[in-house]
Amino acid sequence: MLKVLIVDDSLIMRRNIKKYMSSLGHNIIGEAKNANEALDFCKDNKPDLITMDVAMPGMNGLDVIKKIKDISKYFTIIMVTSYGKNQIVKKALQEGAQGYILKPVTAEKLYESISKIYPEYKNEEESEEE
């Protein structure tokens, strides 16, 4: 079970990601609706995984990655973005994000993204096939 922090300014996205993560067996230890809340949380807590919206008012997700990595380079971050084609994804990965999910977010996309980073969370049938 991963300890997860959800960073998103959208209430419906925080609710839905929380629901999907819980259905995958992970534990939501925090929610942040902006960069400052996320940074404060990461100073005092050690989430295994952070899901981060790219487009937030004020400091955007790319800037937040840098600051979170300044707190600890070991934080694992999955970016959530609606952009499929441009440099944002590339930049996020360069800044230290471990993965990204293209909106719309689903439980399946979260599962796939988490499994790439943490192969031990693949379900049994899939692990056996490999």
Partner 1 sequence: MNDETEVIHTYTKDLLLPIVKRVKSYFEEEMKIDIFNTSEITSPKNIHLKKNTIMIGTSGSIKLIITLGYDDLLLSKLVEVFVNGDEIEDADVDEINNSVACEISNTIIGNAINNPVDKSDIYITPPVMVSEAKTLYKDKHSKFIYVSFVTKYGEIQLTAVGPKEQFEEKLDFKEI
- In the list 40, 45, 46, 84, the residue contacting partner 1 (rule: CB under 8 A) is 84
The count of residues interacting with partner 1 (CB under 8 A) is: 22
- In the list 87, 125, 128, 129, the residue contacting partner 1 (rule: CB under 8 A) is 87
User: Is 34 or 115 the residue whose CB approaches partner 1 more closely?
Assistant: 34
Tell me which long-range contacts 36-41 makes (C-beta under 8 A, separation of at least 24). 37/7, 38/5, 38/7, 38/64, 38/68, 39/64, 39/67, 39/68, 39/71, 41/5
| 107 binds partner 1 per the rule CB under 8 A | no
| 109 binds partner 1 per the rule CB under 8 A | no
CA 28-30-31 angle, to 5 degrees, is 105
Q: Which of residues 25-64 bind partner 1 (CB under 8 A)?
A: 55-57
Q: Residue 96: left if φ>0, alpha if ψ -120 to 50, beta else—which one?
A: left
Pairing label, strands 49-53, 99-102: unpaired
| 108 binds partner 1 per the rule CB under 8 A | no
User: Is 16 or 115 the residue whose CB approaches partner 1 more closely?
Assistant: 16
| 124 binds partner 1 per the rule CB under 8 A | no
Binding site for partner 1 (CB under 8 A): 9-13, 15-16, 19, 55-57, 81-88, 102-104
